[in-house]
Amino acid sequence: MKAPVLARVALCLAVFTAVVLVRQTPSSAQSSAPRFISPLSSQPLALTYDDAFLVVANPDNDTVSFFDVRENRNLRIAQVPVQKEPNGVAFTPDGRTAYIANTVSGTVSVINTDLPNGVVQPPTQHIRVGTEPYSLVMAPNGSVLYVANARSNDITVIDTAANAVVRTITNVGFEPRGLAITNDNDQQDSDETLYVTNFLAVPVAGKLDGADDSKEGFVTVISTATNTVTGTISLKPLVDTGFKATGDALARVAPLPDTDPANFRFTTGAYPNQLNNLAIKDNYVFVPNTGSSPNGPVRFDVNTQSLLSVINRGTNQDAGRTINMHQAVAAQLNPSRLFITQPWAIAFKHSGLNGYVVSAASDIVVKIAVDPSTGAPAVQNDPTDPSRVQQIKVGKNPRGIVINTSDSRAYVMNYVTRDVSVIALDSGPETVVSTMRSADLPIPGSNEDKIHVGRELYHSSVGTFDAPTPFSGPVVGRMSRNGWGACSACHPHGLSDNVVWIFPAGPRRTIPQHADFDPSDPERKSMRILNWSANRDQQEDFELNIRAVSGGQGLIVLDDGVTPDPDVNDFTPRSNEGRNQLKVRGTPAWDGLKAYIQFGIRAPISPVSKTDPDVISGEALFRSANCQSCHGGAQWTSSRVNFTPPPAASQITAGQIVSELRPVGTFDPTAFNEVRQNAAPPLGAAGFVPPSLLSLHAFPQTFLHNGAASTVDQVLDNVTHRSAGTGGVDTLTNAADRAKLAKFVLSIDSATPPIPIQY
């Protein structure tokens, strides 16, 4: 070959090589490694960047499952043990490493894979992070992993090259849960924005707890360039939910009869609460949440709402486009309704303006469309039946959703049925085309199966029950009216929504149920008196909540197996326990619910060190002030059901078991929120049931029955309260001592040795 020809070939090769290099590593120091193409959101399941493989968390059996979803194979290729209670998962873009957030263990497991060859190794490392890591999100280029630590209230930053913690971001708010990261900067991730939800709403300064606008939800903004907090976004209450009440307790307007539609004339609002997840679409961030509407009167359709809040990314403020998704269901022409209870997760198609919201309690996925100019979302109707909202039926208690990059498939993680629903998005109306088993269900008839029945009912707004004789088909839909309400709607994870409700007895903060039964008893038979007013002595008494608060038909029935037993009431001459009940897979419904509350709800882990000198001193002060007289024992409350229900009539005054009440100066009848739902003066003069101190740290800024204190220190400012165990002698006059005592109280969890009650 002649020299000029060789020179031309060399020049062409050089140009070609340069073009290839430019395409692979444009301008700055960029990697040719795979990267995700869209904003990412934390979920309990995750896809590789090429949509080939899926990983799913199995919280109840401490494993994760890997699936081959190439060409719709939908094949589970591995189930790998990790550590305790995995909830969050994430892949590096190439799928060669999976990360798992183990909530109880406080670690992130590292799993190396060669998925195309079906190879998944056991975890090679468990990275210690904060307290109760719940969710994960990967930087788009896979270089950094962010971990939301729900109890230590911080974000761990992990360098994925070294698999090491490089930073902890603090001041992110209470109970960080959902994570979403932008993907605006091509190959550079140094200046992305990370959005973090705070799960529970906190009080608004100057607002009265119990009002429909008394709290607000927050989303924290973090710069990934500096890994520091750059802002906090307040999600404003919805002024008008679109559903009217028949009265206004805080305005002292007694409810009118609900038999006359004209009496529904009082506007109700709702504040964003239970912010579990969020997703980014173009210029907006969308946050599904359970809106709380606590002002009385209590009624199924004014207690909780299905909100979708919108953030403007340009201003990082509430866009003022919040919708109540329940309104779309109420407005549908088809009278057959299923409301969108407990909106828990959201994902968007990569192209177009459609997204999908997961309703955890109603077992459905709902389609929305977004106005690109305003961010306003709208719930979509069924294209095959425009008279109703489009609702895609999935498994039981769905908690997460991801969509592949071609927008052809969505994958939904179903917690209770332990499977994954595969939804076709590319061929007509969206439908479930496959269901993949992620983990085995409990052995039928086992004690774990009984607990699982209770878990299913607790998290359901519908409920599916065995067919009672002589009926041939299952009984469906008795947990609430039209799917509007579930135990978990006010007790997420069996705990508390931290709301002060204006109930029939007065203002009452939702009590978490992790301390209902004595954890030191292997059979957990010993139960505390229930509610602040000692007006429930059996779990089965909450049949009344299913019927009244949620508007359902309930689970206790007459001999025909379907008619609600009318003789269900508090302290009736015969016990509510052991009544004729509907069954689920052969297990009586209330037996299952009680088993779940006994054994299926765990106490949150405190981030406060047990070895902190102030905590040790605080425990000594707790003992010397005899705080254990009201707050001792394994349940950290003196309250006990120490009789065989029902109680004797002599034990009851004004519907309360008065022997269990403690008047300790926490009732102020002049407080404006001290009112009953019917606008009458509240109960409280006789005192309240001592609340459990177990894991009190998990419920921020709302203490006492009516939320009158925003810190434990404020609770201890009450001299009558703090000296109740010492006969009125105040041993806690020193503010520094009270601060140490408060720190001990906030350190109490299931690892804290109980302090016996001195009778």
- Burial (CB count within 10 angstroms: exposed 0-12, middle 13-18, buried 19+), residue 77: middle
Give the single-character DSSP code of 626: T
Residue 410: the pLDDT is 98
Architecture of the domain delimited by 613-747: Orthogonal Bundle (1.10)
Q: Specify whether the CB–CB gap between 540 and 735 falls below 8 A.
A: no
Q: Report pLDDT digits (tens) over 469-499.
A: 877 789 999 999 999 999 999 999 999 999 9
pLDDT for res 187: 53
Query: Tens digit of pLDDT for each residue in 681-714?
Result: 999 999 999 999 999 999 999 999 999 999 999 9
pLDDT at site 428: 84
Nearest to 135 by CA among 108, 166, 161: 108
The pLDDT, as a whole number, for residue 21 is 28
Its sign, for the CA torsion 343, 344, 349, 352, is: positive
At residue 5, does pLDDT exceed 70?
Answer: no
Distances, alpha carbon 429 to alpha carbons 353, 359, 626, in Å? 16, 18, 64
Q: Among candidates 148, 141, 140, 133, which has minimal Cα distance to 195?
A: 148
497: nearest Cα among 172, 132, 209, 278: 209
* Chain segment 253-302, per-residue pLDDT in tens: 999 999 999 999 999 999 999 999 999 999 999 999 999 999 999 999 99
Predicted confidence (pLDDT) at residue 30 exceeds the cutoff of 80: no
Cβ atoms < 10 Å from Cβ of 252: 11
CA distance 683 to 607: 35
Question: In this structure, are residues 165 and 172 in contact, taking their beta carbons and an 8 Å threshold?
Answer: no
For 599-625, how does the pLDDT look when each residue is reduced to its tens digit (9 = 90+)?
Answer: 999 999 999 999 999 999 999 999 999
Per-domain residue ranges of the chain:
1-30, 40-437, 447-599, 613-747
User: Looking at residue 307, what is its pLDDT?
Assistant: 98
Are the beta carbons of 62 and 82 closer than 8 angstroms? yes
Query: What's the rounded Cα separation, in Å, for the pair 269 and 291?
Result: 9
Mean pLDDT of 642-646: 91
433/409 Cα distance (integer angstroms): 9
Phi, psi torsion values for 631, nearest 5 degrees: -125, 40
pLDDT tens digits along 114-171: 999 999 999 999 999 999 999 999 999 999 999 999 999 999 999 999 999 999 999 9
Place of tokens 């239970």: 274
Share of the chain above pLDDT 70, in %: 95
Q: What is the mean pLDDT of residues 235-242?
A: 97
Kindly state the helix (H) or strand (E) to which residue 292 belongs, with its residue range: strand 284-292
In which residue are the tokens 């429930």 written? 536
Do the domains at 447-599 and 613-747 have one common CATH topology? yes
Q: What is the Cα–Cα distance from 746 to 743, expressed in whole angstroms?
A: 5
Q: Please tell me the distance from the alpha carbon of residue 296 to that of residue 302, in angstroms, as a whole number.
A: 9
pLDDT one-digit tens code per residue, 558-589: 999 999 999 998 887 789 999 999 999 999 99
Averaged pLDDT, 101-109: 98
Query: What is the residue-wise DSSP string for 521-576?
Result: STT---BPPBTTTT-B-SGGGGHHIIIIIS----SBB-TTSSSBPTT--TT-SS-S
Mean pLDDT score of the chain, rounded to an integer? Answer: 94
Q: pLDDT, tens digit, for every residue of 327-337?
A: 999 999 999 99
- State pTM to two decimals: 0.94
DSSP letters, 134-159, are: EEEEE-TTSSEEEEEETTTTEEEEEE
| CATH hierarchy code of domain 40-437 | 2.130.10.10
- Residue-wise pLDDT for 355-378, tens only, equals 999 999 999 999 999 999 999 999
Task: For residue 738, give the H/E element and its range.
Answer: helix 735-747
**Higher pLDDT pick, 505 / 19:** 505
Q: Which residue has the tokens 């109740």?
A: 724
Q: Please, what is the Cα angle at 419 between 698 and 88, to 5 degrees? A: 35
Distance in angstroms (rounded) separating the CA atoms of residues 347 and 400: 9
pLDDT of residue 759: 65
d(CA 425, CA 407): 6
The three-state secondary structure class of 688 is strand
CA angle 607–610–615, rounded 5-degree value: 100
pLDDT score for 635: 96
* Domain range 447-599, CATH class: mainly alpha
The residue among 376, 565, 363, 383 whose CA lies nearest residue 483 is: 363
8 Å CB contact between 497 and 490: yes
What pLDDT shows up at residue 344?
A: 98
